[in-house]
Structure 1
Amino acid sequence: MYVKPHVLYAVPNKHSLTYQLNSLLTQEPALEGALAGLSIRSAASGEILYEHLGNARLKPASNLKLFTAAAALSILGEDYSFKTELLTDGKVSFGMIQGNLYVKGKGDPTLLKSDLDNMVKKLKESGIKIIRGNVIADDTWYDDVRYSKDLPWSDETTYYGAQVSALTISPNGDYDAGSVIVGISPGEDLNSKANISLKPETNYITVINETKTVSSEEKKRLVIERGHGTNTIKITGTIPINSKKVKEWIAVWDPTAYALHLFQQSLQEHGIKLLGDATKGKTPETAVLLHTHESIPLSELIIPFMKFSNNGHAETLIKEMGKVIKGEGSWEQGLEVLETELTKLGVNTNTLVLRDGSGISHVNLVPANEISKLLYTIQKKEWFPTYLTSLPIAGHSNRIKGGTLRHRMKETSAQERVKAKTGTLSTVSSLSGYVKTKSGETLIFSILLNNLAVEEKGKEIENKIAELLANL
């Protein structure tokens, strides 16, 4: 759908830029039958320089995380951290906890198996050798709704669709909470089964290995599936004998139970004997605090969150904002807090449809002009440098700096001049952020492409637009 673009403000090479953008939007085959929302502003004045369907509500995909990140920094603050606590309802004497031990999660999406190990070490160092009662996992800091409203069933087993819990474990420093890394390596001999590994190592997951190692001339064909409502992962197919290790992130079923299982494993590994059971429950208000683990601050968490577009972080932050401001860690309350904060940041929330914090819902609707407006208004906030640093940098070879843009716009005028958030859903592609032009001006842009037959074509269009802006 093409609507005549509206140019409101003079810029260097304005006529050339307008002509090129108009030509691209009208002549690009991939946009035939699609919708393109485009908003370009001056970072200095906030004036709209160019727009096309700028006020049309479109699916933002992960560009919605721009809203979530800004609200989280504004409400929680850069120094905010998540806590995980060990408490007991019994006395501690003669190396024994005379009661239950509670593992109370408070939303930390960065908690690792090694953190559990360190917490158990602290118990051991304090002289505790036996727990007479039960070990109880407490995830009641948030509600018990594990999936956002519109998460597709097909995403249930993916790391980006993992269940959200106040007590959850990540497999590594990317902090994809509630998932495990499945490693598949070729066997030692032809026709032998592949070698399967899990990170972290755990028997919470049952692996059915129906793979075969084939000759180096044959192709790699692997299928990794986790059964609905189970923690049974079935791996089928072939892997060439000279193949490199294949890694796949798979979401677990019931991340709270998974965290409890790993904690129990840590107790065993460190020689602390559990006489009771491992179960889930709520910590009594009278329980005594034994140890607290604190996560990295939000200023550091926002890096993997935005650079790698981590859905779990987004949804956790929504629930955390709801808990902190409204006293309830739910999507409903968190989204209300998000909307209120966006209003304070100058966004017209009356024109938004917000269903989650990550953008995974196809029901989310946001105009490009509102994204560019947010990116303008937050520049004066004290936390803006942290926010800007979290955005992927086009064509930057360093993974942690380039993020989801590290392989895009290389050897072009936009390389390392564009700092922007990417977004992808089926039929949707988006890119919004900042670009430093050749003349030294900073521009703000938001590109929302919907109803695409091929999302990858959308990335090419976004790259072209970013390069045009960088060349000004």
Structure 2
Amino acid sequence: MPAVTVARFPFPHPSRALCAIALCLAAGAHAQQPQPLPAEVDAALARAKLPRDAVTMLVADADGARAPRLAWRTQVPVNPASIMKLVTTYAALDLLGAAYTWNTPVYVEGSIANGVLNGNLYIKGQGDPKLVIERMWLLLRHVQGLGITSVSGDIVIDRSAFENTVESDPAAFDGEPLRPYNASPDALLVNFKSVNMRFAPDRGGQVAHVSYEPPLASVAMPATVPLAPGECGDWRSALRTDFSDINRIRFNGGFPAACGEKSWAVAYGDPRTYNLRALGGMWAEMGGRVGGQMREGRVPAGLKPAFEFESPPLAEVVRDINKYSNNVMAQQVFLTLGVTQKGRGNFEASRSVLGQWWRDRIGTGEAPPVFDNGSGRSRDERISAAALGKMLQVAWRSPVMPELVGSLPALGVDGTLRKRTLRSGGAAHLKTGTLRDASGIAGYVHGASGRRYVLVAIANAENAGAARAAFDALVDWTAQDN
């Protein structure tokens, strides 16, 4: 009887197959388990009485070449506070380019003779985020350079580039209407709608001289305030300032002589009329006159600009936004994306632009962010650490990486991180974020080994601010990678 050949198939022994399946299941279960937090970070959270499930943390190579060193609750959408400015500023750099500028056109209607414009002067705002007092003075000086010292008609400002729906009650967010960070965006945003008051003690006269930038037309502003004895302390409260009357600033207290010179920036109580008052006050201080009135309106169709006043480039604006966490500048940039990409100056258009940009540029692998106004001054904006980390990795490989990284506060050097340093002496560029119940940091850390890391750490809790020590410990841990 011929021999029977038994075919051998490439299947493992049943017992080996069972072992392999068990190992795979074990590996899968292990992969799904959250990585333990570094001991020093865990200890800092415990001291702060912050539960681990109140934070999300990610540390990964900036180039994305390896698995993350740490991934803790990275898929959970959280309120990032001002860290959301990273998305807005990177999207703007990517879509508009680092050299993008805003133009503020100025129109002359009528003839000019003997220093008089026989007609109206129009200034059309187009979203310039940095039309601060020094630059507004230059714009008006340029008007005078046309031979105009008096306008027989009206000075008209055109704010139509941004829709009125972007305006909000400055007290609505946190009940602090006089804080400049609560200013609403504006197509013609003059000096962030704020007044800077400077106090200079004069011991001989027993008063402090008060100067205002800019001066506001039709607002009574006292030139002096009495000096007060005692330590400097809470000098703002000692002034007992009364801003209840939009036509007058009152000081019912005194300025402590021990303080030396001090300055205080406050938002004007009637933001709707601020631009008109600021322009009117500055024009008068420069010797200019208006025969008609300061008012809002539209530039007449067909009228050509006499000149266009150019803003600093976007790269410089982004640096101001991220270094100093400027909310209204971030919203100006956010709205500009709607204007430039969809021709509409409202938040809805900008949210649509950012959503499409995210899908095209960052991808759909992670849940997309929830956008509101692009500044992080919001209770509704959301993003996960995984999504933000991926964006930071994409940004690291992009042509505008130097501009984005250079815009972030450098640890222990400048911006919102000027007073924070690492025990390890490492280096990092990180954006901070703080709200009543949200805080965090995100950006890039330089490891001792020479590797660059993306770091995201965000806390959402009633005492979120207490997470600062844990975040500092995480940055230290990230930098000590050798």
TM range (shorter): 0.7 to 0.9
2:118 to 98, 103, 124: 98
Whether contact under 8 Å (2:160, 2:187) holds in the other structure is: yes
| Alpha-carbon distance, 1:97 to partner | 3.0
Structure 1 residue 419 corresponds to structure 2 residue 429: yes
Q: Counterpart in 2 of 1:230? A: 246
Whole-angstrom distance in 2 between the partners of 1:324 and 1:265: 32
Whether contact under 8 Å (2:214, 2:281) holds in the other structure is: no
Q: Counterpart in 1 of 2:23? A: none
Q: Counterpart in 2 of 1:173? A: none
Instruction: State the SS of the aligned residue for 1:99.
Output: strand
Structure 1 residue 181 corresponds to structure 2 residue 200: no
1:380 to 385, 390, 397: 397
| Alpha-carbon distance, 1:49 to partner | 2.7
1:40 to 33, 49, 59: 59
Q: Counterpart in 2 of 1:390? A: 407
Whole-angstrom distance in 1 between the partners of 2:75 and 2:244: 40
Whole-angstrom distance in 2 between the partners of 1:32 and 1:143: 43
| Alpha-carbon distance, 1:73 to partner | 0.6
Whether contact under 8 Å (1:209, 1:235) holds in the other structure is: no
For residues 3-152 of structure 1, the aligned pairs below 5 Å read 19-20=38-39, 23-24=42-43, 27-32=46-51, 35-45=54-64, 47-92=67-112, 95-144=115-164, 145-147=166-168, 152=173
Whole-angstrom distance in 2 between the partners of 1:334 and 1:147: 17
2:211 to 197, 205, 209: 197
Q: Counterpart in 2 of 1:3? A: none
Structure 1 residue 155 corresponds to structure 2 residue 176: yes
Whole-angstrom distance in 1 between the partners of 2:458 and 2:279: 43
Instruction: State the SS of the aligned residue for 2:478.
Output: helix
Structure 1 residue 442 corresponds to structure 2 residue 452: yes
Q: Counterpart in 2 of 1:358? A: 375
Structure 1 residue 164 corresponds to structure 2 residue 191: no
CA RMSD of aligned residues (A): 3.1
Give the partner amino acid of 2:167: R
Structure with bigger gyration radius: 2
| Alpha-carbon distance, 1:31 to partner | 1.1
| Alpha-carbon distance, 1:426 to partner | 0.7
Instruction: State the SS of the aligned residue for 2:424.
Output: coil
Q: Counterpart in 2 of 1:174? A: none
Whether contact under 8 Å (2:216, 2:282) holds in the other structure is: no
Whole-angstrom distance in 2 between the partners of 1:343 and 1:225: 50
| Alpha-carbon distance, 1:375 to partner | 0.3
Pair 1:274–1:241, CA change in 2 (3 A): closer
Whether contact under 8 Å (2:154, 2:291) holds in the other structure is: yes
Instruction: State the SS of the aligned residue for 2:362.
Output: coil
1:433 to 432, 436, 443: 443
| Alpha-carbon distance, 1:8 to partner | 6.4
Q: Counterpart in 2 of 1:284? A: 300
Instruction: State the SS of the aligned residue for 2:430.
Output: strand
TM-score (norm 2): 0.83
Whole-angstrom distance in 2 between the partners of 1:390 and 1:104: 29
Whether contact under 8 Å (1:61, 1:424) holds in the other structure is: yes
Whole-angstrom distance in 1 between the partners of 2:447 and 2:230: 48
Q: Which runs of 5+ in 1 are unaligned?
A: 1-5, 10-14, 171-176, 397-401
Give the partner amino acid of 1:188: R
Whole-angstrom distance in 2 between the partners of 1:219 and 1:306: 30
Give the partner amino acid of 2:359: T
Q: Counterpart in 1 of 2:312? A: 296
Whole-angstrom distance in 2 between the partners of 1:37 and 1:259: 42
Structure 1 residue 314 corresponds to structure 2 residue 324: no
Instruction: State the SS of the aligned residue for 2:259.
Output: coil
Q: Which runs of 5+ in 2 are unaligned?
A: 1-28
Give the partner amino acid of 2:467: G
Q: Kindly, what percent of the aligned residue pairs are identical?
A: 24
Whole-angstrom distance in 2 between the partners of 1:139 and 1:35: 42
Q: Counterpart in 1 of 2:24? A: none
Whether contact under 8 Å (1:392, 1:420) holds in the other structure is: yes
Q: Counterpart in 1 of 2:386? A: 369
Whole-angstrom distance in 2 between the partners of 1:259 and 1:45: 47
